[in-house]
Amino acid sequence: MQQRFRLTGDRRFSQIHQEGRSVANKILVLRVLANGLPHNRYGFMVSKRLGNAVVRNRIRRRLKDIVRQAPTVPGWDAVFIARRGAEQSGYCQLERAAANLLRRTRLTTGPGGGPVQRETDYK
């Protein structure tokens, strides 16, 4: 993920936590706040309670890939927070959970406001 699309710095994370909207499901939490930029920035938080570094980085890599492929509306900062259960979830489960949260926050640009369907979603 390019640096301009990354959220860095504790100050912005704290601001999103305090002022942003939050939606959650069983394995993920998504907090969003408008940023006024022509692109989105993303942050990913995975607690040490979910596993060792290998497990945490796997979750982070999967979420980055899911976000990279998702068609989204520009101008938002979003922080994905992994909950317990994310370490046992497969890629498809994480993808469905992230798509659900993006749809609920209206950040997707798919038809009808929902996520765009791909061929792999039908198998």
pLDDT in tens, 23-81: 999 999 999 999 989 999 999 999 999 999 999 999 999 999 999 999 999 999 999 99
And the tokens for 84?
């317990």
Tell me the pTM.
Answer: 0.83
The predicted pLDDT at position 19 comes to: 92
Query: Does the pLDDT value for residue 112 go beyond 60?
Result: no
Contacts of 81 (CB under 8 A, 6+ apart): 28, 29, 30, 31, 45
pLDDT of residue 10: 85
**Termini Cα distance of the chain:** 28
Residue 117 — pLDDT band, cuts 50, 70, 90? Answer: very low
Greater pLDDT, 90 or 6: 90
- Give the model's pLDDT for residue 110: 63
Residue pair 109/71 in contact (Cβ under 8 Å)? The answer is yes
The pLDDT value given to residue 111: 57
Mean pLDDT of 103-116: 69
Q: Which residue has the higher pLDDT, 28 or 121?
A: 28
- All structural domains of the chain: 3-107 (3.30.230.10)
